Chains A and B, each alone.
Chain A
Amino acid sequence: EAQVTQNPRYLITVTGKKLTVTCSQNMNHEYMSWYRQDPGLGLRQIYYSMNVEVTDKGDVPEGYKVSRKEKRNFPLILESPSPNQTSLYFCASSSAGTPGYTFGSGTRLTVV
């Protein structure tokens, strides 16, 4: 089944403790992206990647890191999480030739 898989689905962590949210897609998509969703603010793009080793900042990149060493994986790294990074995070991927994202199921992160 074609899908984007994010892990974990839920995560509660403490301020300052580094964490990684994994994202993997099995559709050979070139484009991958991370979004955060907060009430009243919709989805805001954190980082996106157009292909292996090609990444760029979205609208809200501060406090986040990404890497794209393999085409299928696009992990999101929070080096020192803070409470304002408490949010619902989505990974998404898309083919270069066929626009339209496939989204993962989301990761609900709480930083205390």
Chain B
Amino acid sequence: SQQGEEDPQALSIQEGENATMNCSYKTSINNLQWYRQNSGRGLVHLILIRSNEREKHSGRLRVTLDTSKKSSSLLITASRAADTASYFCAAPFNTGGFKTIFGAGTRLFVKA
């Protein structure tokens, strides 16, 4: 059972365009995290949004969280070829423990 599920599975855009990825989750959460993975490498933590926050910014990244719909979105503005990667959302189960489920990811390809 996937706690986080990303949509779309793949996205291809031109450099300079914005990229939006969505994530849905199933149970209540304390926070939701977004990660980036370059091909075959380890994941890199991008941004975390807590359950009492609705929107958060970090550089060209904007994350929103709608706990009523159990969904989040990641917006990358003015995309660059270097943004080409897979993006994952991760939602820790709200148990005080650390069982964290990742989705299958969105593969983003930014064409120069």
Contact = CB atoms under 8 A, between A and B. Distances in A.
Interface string B92-112: 100001111111110000000
B97 A50 contact: yes
A104 B40 CA distance: 11
- For B40, B92, B102, B103, which residue has the most chain A Cβ atoms within 10 angstroms? B102
A97 interface: no
Size category of the binding interface on chain B: 20 to 34
Interface in A54-88: 56, 58-59, 88
A43 B40 CA distance: 12
B42 A31 contact: no
Interface of A: 4, 31, 33, 35, 40-45, 48, 50, 56, 58-59, 88, 90, 92, 94, 99-106, 108
Nearest to A41: B104
A84 B100 CA distance: 23
Contact of B48 (A33, A40, A50, A100): A100
Contact of B45 (A50, A101, A106): A101
A35 B99 contact: no
A33 B33 contact: no
